[in-house]
Amino acid sequence: MLYMEDNKILKNKTAVITGGSRGIGQAIAVNLAKCGANVVVIYSGNVQRAEETLRIISEFGVKAKGYQCDVSDFTKTKDTVTKIVEDFSTIDILVNNAGITIDKLVLQMTEEDFEKVIDVNLKGAFNMIRHICPIMAKSRSGKIINISSVSGIMGNIGQANYAASKAGLIGLSKTVAKEYASRNINCNVIAPGFIKTDMTDKLNENIKLQVTSAIPMKKMGDPQDIANLAVFLASHYSDYITGEVVKIDGGLCI
């Protein structure tokens, strides 16, 4: 049976998605709910978008709750995880999707520009993993999915901070995969290419044309493409897969 045909494959599981109120994070949250998971949405500031995502998730008959948290803050992240466990009893799935960009050439990039992106994209993922892994280890089961980027694999002009954070996420993931394999915790990475989101919608048409012409499939991806793989990696179908980086980029990074 194909995993997407088993629409309750994640029943009774609790999934935490950072940056889960929009774009790729929202698509993943909704897909996990469709498959029966109770869903926790971590968001930074946009309460309205978070509430709308939770409304959509709740339509699938699962438990859904949002928590506002700056994932770059170690202590606040710990407190949020404690509240989640109080409300949901346990955590089975963690998706580290929260991310920001401050794009500039290296010569124009400030120390603050670099640190902000690293703090959210890389340190934020570490914070969540650090506080959730003991919970997973205790139950000897867990799935961690980190959302990186092809920029972290091949670099990208104007994205020294972003590429560094996403490359660091790959190294972090492989280390976590090795350290927790004996506890039956899987840690894998999804590396999207150009995906149609609010961020890419802001690009002018000339840049969009340049981008798509560089992609062998000649089109941008959809958040649903990422969400479909996230369900597979969160399910028992991926039990023997860990430490892997899966590109979803239409062939851009071949």
178 part of a folded domain:
yes
215 part of a folded domain:
no
Q: Which CATH number belongs to the domain containing residue 72 in this structure?
A: 3.40.50.720
Cα 146 to the chain's mean position, in Å?
5
201 part of a folded domain:
no
What local confidence, expressed as pLDDT, does residue 2 receive? 46
Question: In Å, what is the CA distance from 66 to each residue of 9, 23, 30, 35, 135?
Answer: 23, 16, 13, 19, 20
pTM: 0.96
What local confidence, expressed as pLDDT, does residue 189 receive? 98
What local confidence, expressed as pLDDT, does residue 1 receive? 38
241 part of a folded domain:
yes
Number of domains observed in the structure of the chain: 1
Burial of 145 (0-12, 13-18, 19+ CB in 10 A): buried
Q: Which residues are catalytic?
A: 162
Cα–Cα distance for residue pair 234/203, rounded to 1 Å: 32
152 part of a folded domain:
yes
What local confidence, expressed as pLDDT, does residue 6 receive? 63
What local confidence, expressed as pLDDT, does residue 154 receive? 96
81 part of a folded domain:
yes
210 part of a folded domain:
no
SS (H, E, C) the chain: CCHHHCCCCCCCCEEEEECCCCHHHHHHHHHHHHCCCEEEEEECCCHHHHHHHHHHHHCCCCCEEEEECCCCCHHHHHHHHHHHHHHHCCCCEEEECCCCCCCECCCCCCHHHHHHHHHHHHHHHHHHHHHHHHHHHHHCCEEEEEECCCHHHHCCCCEHHHHHHHHHHHHHHHHHHHHHHHHCEEEEEEEECCECCHHHHCCCHHHHHHHHHHCCCCCCECHHHHHHHHHHHHCHHHCCCCCCEEEECCCCCC
Residue 151 belongs to domain spanning:
10-195+222-248
What local confidence, expressed as pLDDT, does residue 208 receive? 85
**pLDDT tens per residue across all 254 residues of the chain:** 345 556 789 999 999 999 999 999 999 999 999 999 999 999 998 999 999 999 999 999 999 999 999 999 999 999 999 999 999 999 999 999 999 999 999 999 999 999 999 999 999 999 999 999 999 999 999 999 999 999 999 999 999 999 999 999 999 999 999 999 999 999 999 999 999 987 777 778 888 898 899 999 999 999 999 999 999 999 999 999 999 999 999 999 99
